[in-house]
Amino acid sequence: MKPTTTLYFIILSFLFNLSSLSAQPVPAIDENIPYLVTFGGDGDTAWGDDDFCQIIFFSIPENYDRPIFIRVSDPDTGSDIDEQKGEWDTTTRFSVYGGDGTCSEEDARRSNLQGNYKSGNLLASKTFAGNPRYNKSWYTFGPFNPTEGELLPEYGGYIFKMIIEGIDGDDGNLYTLFLTTESDENRPVEGAFAFYFKYKFRLHNDVKEVSHIYPYMTSDVIAIKQSNFDWDSDGSIRIISPAKNGEILAASADDEWVESRHAITEDEHNSSLDIQMIKRQSPMVKDNNVVIFLENQYGELMPFYSIPIGGIPEYKYSIGIKPKQ
């Protein structure tokens, strides 16, 4: 690990300890994203899922020693919130991994599902089809002992990985997750948070809603490349940071990838970016599922965090109007 990265995580651990209440649901409260989405393995990518798999990591502070649970709301496909194509015929497998390699394995931090991305020990797995019992209600994985995770202080503690795979069918499974101290209740684990390298979710059906994601810029980042899929030309994606007052990211049309590169300046180091997703005002794009990921100049994927590290960034006019030296 690079020295700068180590330093960054020391700072990061401190900042994470300051805030936890909004960090436990995925999507997170500060993200204002209604649902995660995974389509069945026979899905049509034009509906907004490029590879029918989602990977979410959870970080538990090293000093936390009580059992934890990961709960899934609406894990089945066939409910009010899911997206039907023809008959309901979709099954989805949720699997929880911990132990060596869970997150340290490079293949688990990529975007292409190649190699050993199912790294670590399989701790629990369950496959859901359609089941009215789970309509907008919760299924609980666990209890897990925090030490069953992979200890990675640079990622804030013990790391667990949930892989959500669309197996059969072609419908869209919409769901949310919650990391909790209780099996039957959503109660945050103090100091814990979630992070994800490639994020697939549903945008709001209300054009006034703005969704957000929060990557963190370490001091070694000089440029980022963002890639997104099937945005359906739904409005604009922009960056708010100390030095950027709404720099526009390329947004994709139907069933296509686009990417754009953005320079990162010193003023943005050790700060989160607020990547805002502003929907097209008219006509409204309904039930829009999208995919997005971010790479640094080395081609490494950069995590989005369920809490904006260091707080939600604001544009600083004094930086923005600074003349070039």
Q: How far is the CB of 204 from Ca ion (least distance, A)?
A: 13
Report in angstroms the alpha-carbon separations of 97 from 50, 70, 123. 23, 11, 5
Q: Are 131 and 150 in contact (CB under 8 A)?
A: no
Q: Are 279 and 209 in contact (CB under 8 A)?
A: yes
For residue 268, state whether it binds Ca ion (rule: CB under 5 A).
no
- The residues that bridge with 247 in the sheet, in sequence order, are 239
Q: How far is the CB of 281 from Ca ion (least distance, A)?
A: 17
Taking phi first (over 0 means left), then psi (-120 to 50 degrees means alpha), and beta for anything else, what does residue 109 get?
A: alpha
Q: How many residues bind Ca ion (CB under 5 A)?
A: 15
Q: Are 200 and 225 in contact (CB under 8 A)?
A: no
For residue 230, state whether it binds Ca ion (rule: CB under 5 A).
yes
Within 29-48, the residues that bind Ca ion by CB under 5 A are 48
Q: Which of 171, 268, 274, 295 binds Ca ion (CB under 5 A)?
A: 171
CA-wise closest residue to 27 among 175, 172, 205, 161: 175
Q: Which is nearer to Ca ion, 79 or 272 (CB)?
A: 79
For residue 165, state whether it binds Ca ion (rule: CB under 5 A).
no
Q: For Ca ion, which stretch binds (CB under 5 A), given 53-61, 86-94, 139-147, 266-274?
A: 86-94
Binding mask 269-298 for Ca ion (x = CB under 5 A): -------------------xx---------
Q: Are 113 and 55 in contact (CB under 8 A)?
A: no
Please give the angle made by the CA atoms of 134, 205 and 210, to the nearest 5 degrees: 110
Q: Which is nearer to Ca ion, 93 or 316 (CB)?
A: 93
Q: Which of 31, 74, 274, 295 binds Ca ion (CB under 5 A)?
A: 74
List interacting residues with Ca ion (CB under 5 A): 48, 74, 82, 85-86, 89, 170-171, 173-175, 230, 232, 288-289
